[in-house]
Chains A and B, each alone.
Chain A
Amino acid sequence: MNPKLKKAITISSIVLVSIGLLVFLYISAGQQTFIRTTLSGLTLGSLFFLVAGGLTLIFGLMDVLNFAHGSMFMLGAYIGWQFYTNPTFIFGLLPQILAFASGVMVTPIIKPYLIRWQLSDKWVKVLPKIGYLLGLITFVLSVLGLDILGLAKTAMVAATTATIGNPLAELSAQEPLAMYWFRPLLIFISGLFIAFSTSKPGNKTEFAPKENFLSKLLIPVILFLLAIVATLIRESAPEAILLMNGNWRFMISLLVSIVFGFAFGAVIEITLIRPLYIRPTFIIIMTLGLSYVIRELVQLLWDPLAYQMVRPPLFAQSGKAANLLEWLQNGNTTIDIVGVTIPTYRLFVILLGIVMFIFITILMTKTRLGMIIRAGVQDPQMVEALGINVKAIFTIVFGLGVAMAALGGIGAGPFLPIQPLMGDHYQTQGLITVVIGGMGSYVGAFVGALILGLARAFGDYFALKYSLSTAVAEASTVIIMVIVLLARPQGLFGKKE
């Protein structure tokens, strides 16, 4: 049979079956329940997509299954919540992070000179190790006595006791400036040592052009200036942010989570995953281990408690809005949609998923980066042979995937309890989504997430209606996966191997 015809028949039969299924559900559940269940299914689906989209991009390009994705989702939620509730923690650490990054970013400037050094093989091996060791020592010295736990406590206290009217009551004092200066300075030096080591003195494996000196200098200098600014504002900035309109604060905390996720993902890829590409099974074990490390660190910083994030004002006013306009004016918690009461925050989560899907689609189809990613999925070696640094692309894609998960985490923050295990469920469902949609296909991840979200929601509804165990709903997603795999082993949108 003509493959095009076959494909058309498969797609149209899938569409028909799903429409039939929806009609059946509509009739059996009734209009009100149907709308309510569908919307809560879409909310879940949106979160599943935010997790699965990153997973599938990362898997498609570099064949890495990131088992720490759920932990990164959780970490994104904590960072965003921290910023929203009391940003003292983040602003307390920002000068150090910026100073360290500024030190490390010196690498491209010194690399062209260092790799040309004439060194014996022995020194080529030993020098970077000495550099890393010195970097580590200065790093430890600079954080010695820094009360990180104390900084983390500020948000815990704020979350458990703060009266919404006066978030400033919980602002805590930090070290005096005169004592504080030495930290960013020392950690900048630590970054310089790391930069020295990563520029591979005497190791002539790369061509590093000496030109564009000024443009390379720009980044570290800007970061250094930002570090100075961050040191100066580390007490006043949290205050200013807490005085800000809660909606804006929430939007900024979404951004903070994205930026954090990208940076965190990029650092993890460069330091932990990159050495292991030749041993794929090790990557699975490593990411699995990483997820435990992240979880324990979070428990150390914020105690093994579950926090309830205060909703931004747009979703906080009790009472039901009659229409969209009224909601946007008053900021009600619920809204009336064709006679059904829907929590407004859910609509926001659905919007978040759709916006991210559009963003990814534009990125993949319209930009040069997307073009390179699509080509790299098929043949990374050929992409490299065209003169493109594929390693750098891997880092960017890993960062993007983690950023999406982190955004999902903070997006889920206002309606899920924030606790160290919050990401695990989403990771499992995300993996199932990726399998259903087809490994490596972001469209597949989107469709798979919708199917799974709806299946969960309707599964819950029927479990309740016929007083079955809620395990039925959880099993439904796995059953769907089994059916899809039997019919199409490569997933709905996967390419045949």
Chain B
Amino acid sequence: MKELNPQPDLLIVDNIQTFIGQFHILEGVSVRVPKGSITVMLGRNGAGKTTTIKSILGLTPPREGKVVFDGLEIQGKRAFNIANLGIGYVPEHRAIFRSLTVLENLKIAERRKGDFDRNSEFIFNLFPDLKRLSRLPGNHLSGGQQQMLAVARALVPDNKLLLIDEPSEGLAPILIQQMMDAIKVLSEKTTILLVEQNFIMASQLAERYIIIDDGKSVKSGLMMELVHDEALVHHYLGASIKTPQELEKKHEPQA
């Protein structure tokens, strides 16, 4: 990672090692996220992408290595402290609060009074469905609506960085397109670190990529270069690359 960045790095993850119980999950992951960009983490299932996100947030604190956010070292701090520095989290499987209404799901994310009122217009413009559903409990939403709510929840406070884990997982193609559009809009407001299995989506959204393999970050650079390097893509991502046709097939029954 010696390239010059036009923008300073908002997030620097330097060679972190994370254990979950006895298992050594991350054996040296380094990530750099320049300010104002979308960076995507690619890799096979179980490569350690989600654990990297959780290690940044302090949910699975790294045992070694450094995490620097906005000039502050945050490794080893408690998760709520880290989040309050301005990091929004959209977890894998959404983690919508089932017994709370859509409105409550959004309001709980307020860090200061009035956060929601300030940003509600932006959120409801981005996801107009949510306004209509706002009185419904979280467990009455469909998968796509839950995903929108999970993203919207991360937008309630003014976050400097969004960590978005697999936003396209289990969504019908039309919803994937909608989600992509939304993330594009967001990238104008904040910096985004994305985890995505769907290579098509990742390649269209992100400016930069990091490939995680077997708990290590093995390659990073500009997305433009990666899309032309089929050998590299095939070597590290192999089965996880999906053509649009395959995607259609996979999601048809759920549509």
Contact = CB atoms under 8 A, between A and B. Distances in A.
Contacts of B209: none
25 contacts: A205-B76, A207-B72, A207-B81, A207-B85, A368-B107, A374-B99, A374-B100, A378-B97, A378-B98, A381-B59, A381-B79, A382-B97, A383-B108, A384-B79, A384-B83, A385-B57, A385-B59, A385-B79, A386-B89, A386-B109, A387-B83, A387-B109, A387-B111, A387-B157, A388-B108
Most chain A beta-carbon neighbours within 10 Å: one of B59, B72, B78, B108:
B108
A390 B59 contact: no
A206 B85 CA distance: 12
Contacts of B104: 371
A386 B59 contact: no
B222 interface: no
A322 interface: no
A375 interface: yes
A231 B149 CA distance: 55
Nearest to B90: A385
A386 B108 contact: yes
Contacts of A372: 108
B34 interface: no
Interface string A376-403: 0111011111111110000000000000
Interface of A: 204-207, 368, 371-372, 374-375, 377-379, 381-390
Interface residue SS majority, chain B: loop
Interface of B: 57, 59, 72, 76-81, 83-85, 89, 91, 95, 97-100, 104, 107-109, 111, 153, 157
Contact of A375 (B78, B79, B83, B100): B100
Contacts of B57: 385
Contacts of A388: 80, 108
B78 A386 contact: no
Contacts of B108: 368, 371-372, 375, 383, 386, 388
Contacts of A389: 78, 80
B89 A206 contact: no
Contacts of A374: 97, 99-100
A206 B91 contact: no
Contact of B76 (A204, A382, A384): A204
A372 B111 CA distance: 12
A205 B95 CA distance: 26
Contacts of A204: 76-77
Contacts of A375: 97, 99-100, 108
Nearest to A203: B76
B83 to A, nearest CB: 4
B83 A386 contact: yes
- A-B pairs with lowest CB-CB distance, top 6: A387-B83, A375-B97, A387-B84, A382-B95, A384-B79, A385-B89
